[in-house]
Structure 1
Amino acid sequence: MNGIFRNGKLNAASLTRRSFIASAAAGSAALALSGRTVFAQGDTLKVGFISPRTGPLGGFGETDGYVLELTRKALANGLQAGGKTWKVEILDQDTQSDPSRAGQLAKDLINNEAIDLMLAVSTPETINPVADACEAAGIPCLSTVMPWEAWYFGRGAKPGAPSPFKWTYHFGFGVEEFHKAYVSQWNLIETNKKVGVMYPNDADGNAIRTHLAPALARAGFTIVDPGAYETGTTDFSAQIALFRQEGVEIFNSFPIPPDFAAFWRQAAQQGLTQQIKICQVAKTGLFPSDIEALGDLGLNIGSAAYWHKAFPYKSTLTGVSGTELADGYETASGKQWTQQLGASLALLDAGFDALKASTDVKSKEAVAKALATLKTTTIAGKVDFTSGPVANVSPGPIIGTQWVKAPEGSKFALDYVVTENATDPNVPVGAKLTAYNG
């Protein structure tokens, strides 16, 4: 079928703009001729998928359309579960980066669409209101891409107490993974170990301040914290002055893109960037568009990847490798690959693996139990809910990375390189960390 499938697996690299349309038409005709699966009434699984596709957090959802296209093609002939074949409908929704809208969308999918499973991806502003709606309604929900502490404790769980959650599950990085990655990364360059931190007054920032900053201090770094700032702040002069006065050589933040852009431009104007040797930015430093928007100020910014095309795993749902996923997206969209590709596909991998493992996909209790006991390896690595730090959580890697100038002849301005792999040694290190101001 025009190379869309290779050896029975979906070939993401062949999905160009033109072949998106052509293959869909050819696929429909071929399936009609070959006897496409006919589903009986009631043999439909409905899966909700909620992410921020537009708004300030839109970078997280930019690639979701492509990932959902791959998924729908892989499920065109249904899902084998419980001894029968189920038609699958994925109902995807855009939060527009609004937490209130995220909760409303979740309730609509639960009450009006009668979904069997909810998938939510990217940031507390998306995931927490969706998870809360599912917990209240008794709908199994799986999520990824936010620190698990912000998901678990940020929704009311108490340290040392039993989990209050029966229906909601989350996998991916936590503070311990950030701690390991940052210590590994920051020891690659000689500094005075003074770290200026800017953690916002939100679920991410508060979890990181409470759990990560003390761990970094115990590892020998001096934390200079001017206090929580409010999202949307436009004047960072006070923070910059403190960082200059204290002589910080490492900077770390978990901001949304507009906030970091405002801060970093002011930091350059007021002389702070000249003393910074490592600029390690989470949340904003994830995607090429956010870094490109900074111009030359974006070069050599350190980041961290919850997925990279160098990850040596394959999608259980589509069969594509990391390189195939990234190359396929670039061919289809004309845009540079982002780490969200693998993260969103990993969520779909894990969600459908849980459905396949469930004793009854139409039983909410059975699906929740399948999530609680899920052990699989997605395109982003291992997911294991049987051995997490707390119930309902499966931790995952975060890998040290850096944005550098792309090699001569590249289609894109930036290259995204792996600089350390403390939380998953299976991921190959591809480059040496370069000082921001070397």
Structure 2
Amino acid sequence: MVAPLTGRLAPLGKPLSYVLGALAPRLRHVRNGGRRHEVSIAVRDSRSDPEAARQAVRDLVAEDRAQIVLTMAGTRVLPAVADTCEEVGVPCLSTTFPWQAYVHARGAGPAHRFRWTYHFAWGLDDIAAVFASLWEGIGGRGPVGCLWNDDLQGDLLRHDRYGFAPVTSARGHTLVDLGPYREPAGDFGPQVGRMREHATEVITSAATAADLALFHRQARQAGLRPRLITCSRWLTYPHTHTTPAPDVHAELADARVATLVYWSPDHPYRSSLDGTTCAELARSYRQDTGESWLQPLGLAHALLETAHHALATAGDPADRASVAEALATARLDTIAGPLDWTRGPTPNIALLRLTGGQWHPGPQGPRLAVVTDAGNTGVPLTGELTPAR
């Protein structure tokens, strides 16, 4: 396991570390072809840094003789892990990253078939469809202001084939690019000016919590107030979890940000390892850590379920090529939903279904309510979409 135990991604490493500890007793061995194989687990810290992540993979292969490497989180860290696994010839399984970004960050095209590396997540087109349903949930199809950075995420969201435009324009929405910005941002004056110029009352973004709060504050100071902000990436997690700044917390609570939902305690799935439900996993996490559930909790659990499945079904679980082949043909139901690598949008990818949610203020901090089941009608709604006033 390559996990962000320290550094800026460390909050996202907590669910992975928790699930690893909780499932450790069930992962000590695997049965394959009537034989029982002992399993050992080694964890290396990516330190939230691409070069440290590459070295972690090399150490796992050279020192721990890893047969499969698991990882999640990080726009640059995750591709660094996958690329290194491809270079050294060890199976890699990853998640929490739109598949287009996973492919493009590694310098490949959508039809490229990697030999050793596999991924499960959703697509940018899936996010666009969910966000469009949220925009439509407050009525009308006015211009949507796009607050996107000047890095990989922003470039892909703007892409004329893989980005938001093909999905949203087909539904009658007009996207207005407010202009790229460098993270972390120091001033959103130009973007706020374009928001005023184009009379955009809906904003979509993939900003960090701090940057989105700065934009919202400067928009309010200019006499503008978005009726709805949809934001992916860092805002799929509680803003109180990813930054300690009270002013950011207050600003985003006032903004009522909506986001994508890929896992929640109310999702109707069970673990393939022990039958644990989503609600039970979330409840155990809170009881054991004192913290609220995070969406990556379900994906971390599914990551380990899939690795176990690959070792149990491989022609030879001690042979890396056999494990990679098992991943390529894997089909299983997990606590994050059904996964099928034989029907992905591109080789090496299995898709997860999305719904839409909104952060509602609550006595214990922001609560993520599922407010639209567009994309996954099996997930119950737990709140109503509320525009900012």
Task: Assess same fold via TM > 0.5.
Answer: yes
1:195 aligns with 2:144: yes
Pair 86,186 (structure 1): closer, same or farther in 2 beyond 3 Å: same
1:114-263 map, 5 Å? 114-159=65-110, 162-210=111-159, 211-215=162-166, 216-263=168-215
1:124 CA drift (Å):
2.6
Q: Indicate if the aligned counterparts of 1:195 and 1:251 stay in contact, CA closer than 8 A.
A: yes
Give the Cα separation in 2 of the matches to 1:291 and 1:400. Answer: 23
SS at match of 2:372: coil
2:17 maps to 1:68: no
Aligned to 2:277: 321
With 130-139 and 79-88 compared, the bigger mean Cα shift is at 79-88
Q: TM-score, normalised by structure 2?
A: 0.92
Give the RMSD, CA atoms, in angstroms.
1.9
Report how many aligned residue pairs link the two structures.
Answer: 380
Residue 130 of structure 1: how far off its partner (Å): 0.4
Q: What are the Cα deviations for residues 359-387 of structure 1, in whole angstroms up to 9, with x where unaligned?
A: 11111111111011000011110110111
Residue 53 of structure 2 is matched in structure 1 by: 102
Does 2:227 align with 1:277? yes
Work out whether residues 199 and 253 of structure 1, in 8 Å CA contact, stay in contact via their aligned partners in 2. yes
1:298 aligns with 2:287: no
Offset of residue 191 of structure 1: 4.2
CA–CA distance in structure 2, aligned partners of residues 80 and 261 of structure 1: 50
Residue identity matched to 2:55: Q
1:91 aligned to 2:45?
Answer: no
CA contact (8 A) 1:191 1:277 kept: no
| Conserved? CA contact 1:71–1:318, under 8 Å | no
Q: Quick one: structure 1 residues 278 and 319, their matched pair in 2 at CA, closer, same or farther if it must change by over 3 Å?
A: same
Which whole-Å deviations, capped at 9, do the CAs of 1:69-88 have from their partners, x for residues lacking one? 11213224x22224322222
Give, in angstroms, the shift of residue 317 of structure 1: 2.4
Distance (Å, rounded) in 1 between the aligned partners of 2:230 and 2:103: 25
Deviations 1:269-326 (A, max 9, x none): 3333x2x111111112122224885333223211112211111111112431111111
Q: Between Structure 1 and Structure 2, whose CA radius of gyration is higher?
A: 1
Q: Distance in 1 between matches of 2:297 and 2:308?
A: 17
Moved more, 346-355 or 57-66: 57-66
Q: Tell whether the 8 Å contact from 1:82 to 1:358 is kept in structure 2 after alignment.
A: no
Which residue type is aligned with residue 238 of structure 1?
Answer: P
Unaligned runs of 5+ in 1: 1-48
User: Is structure 2 residue 355 aligned with structure 1 residue 399?
Assistant: yes
Stretches of structure 2 that go unaligned for 5 or more consecutive residues are: none
C-alpha separation between the residues in 2 aligned to 1:120 and 1:399?
Answer: 24
Asked whether the 8 Å contact 2:124–2:164 carries over to 1, the reply is no
Offset, 1:185 = 1.6
Task: Give the Cα–Cα distance (whole angstroms) in 1 for the partners of residues 52 and 189 of structure 2.
Answer: 33
Aligned to 1:39: none
Shift of 1:268: 3.5
Secondary structure, aligned partner of 1:142: strand
**C-alpha deviation, 1:167, in angstroms:** 0.6
Q: TM-score when scaled to structure 1? A: 0.82
